[in-house]
Amino acid sequence: MNGFNSSAISHMMRNRIDSAINQRLDRTNNARDMRNISSSRPAETSRAEQVSFEEALQVANPLNSISLGVPNTNFNPAIDAAVTAASIQHGVDANLIRAVIRAESSGNPLAVSHAGAQGLMQLMPATARNLGVTDPFDITQNVNAGTAYLRSLLDRFSGDVELALAAYNAGWPRVQQHGGIPPFAETQTYVPRVLGFREEYALQQYAQNIDLRRR
């Protein structure tokens, strides 16, 4: 049995998203009133225009995030470009890739863990070699290989993001052995942490999209 309740996390994030959406809509409508911009549309943004929570997280189409711009990750442009390219190539949600990078290395391409994991997505040397990486500190190679590995885990666990993340952290044999997220403190913390980062980025992109639609 998992040590965290993913539905509770989603409920908490839903409240955060609803609050942020309403604040953004209010700011947008106030700005439009002050600018006195004439429009054929109603002055107030209809709540019916809001997409669902699931669409806001962009889980239905993993490539939706590309069309909504890049959230404020504090990553350098080379990382964002590598994430976008890897997302397209491997069909993995760009925000999920960003979230893994943030959790693994905080966006430091030169990061090395005590266990020897390297680069942005903290690839172990053997994994990197198996994925054809010649320089684990190269941004493009590391992100592409890490995303390819994440894709393989998603496929192994039938698209279950929580199990794929647990496997990324603890290894897929341990996930299979325990029939779910292993009862390791690090993994139990890692999975909701990455999911929270992904939701944060999706919220930022959704807010950006509201701004673009109302201009």
For residue 211, what pLDDT is reported? 60
Q: What is the pLDDT of residue 12?
A: 58
Position 208 confidence tier, pLDDT thresholds 50, 70, 90: confident
- Please confirm, yes or no, whether 104 is among the known catalytic residues: yes
Query: pLDDT digit string (tens) for 89-115?
Result: 999 999 999 999 999 999 999 999 999
Instruction: Please state which of the ranges 23-27, 108-112, 126-130, 135-139 shows the lowest mean pLDDT.
Output: 23-27
| Model confidence band, residue 41 (pLDDT cutoffs 50, 70, 90) | very low
- In the structure encoding, which two tokens stand for residue 106, read together? 């905080």
Mean pLDDT taken over the chain: 79
Concatenated DSSP letters of the chain = --SS-HHHHHHHHHHHHHHHHHHHHHHHHHHHHHHT---SS-SSPPGGGSPPHHHHHT-SSTTHHHHT--------HHHHHHHHHHHHHHT--HHHHHHHHHHHHTT-TT-B-TT--BTTTTB-HHHHHHTT-S-TTSHHHHHHHHHHHHHHHHHHTTT-HHHHHHHHHH-HHHHHHHTSS-S-HHHHHHHHHHHHHHHHHHHHHHHHHHHHHH-
Of 44, 54, 55, 104, the active-site residue reads 104
Per-residue model confidence as pLDDT tens digits over 7-22: 555 555 556 655 555 5
pLDDT of res. 22:
58
pLDDT bracket for residue 56 (50, 70, 90): very low
- Enter the pTM of the model: 0.71
Residue that has been written with the tokens 């442009």 in this structure: 77
Does the pLDDT of residue 154 top 70, yes or no? Answer: yes
Domains of the chain, with CATH numbers? 6-214 (1.10.530.10)
pLDDT at position 204 is 86
Predicted pLDDT of residue 66: 42
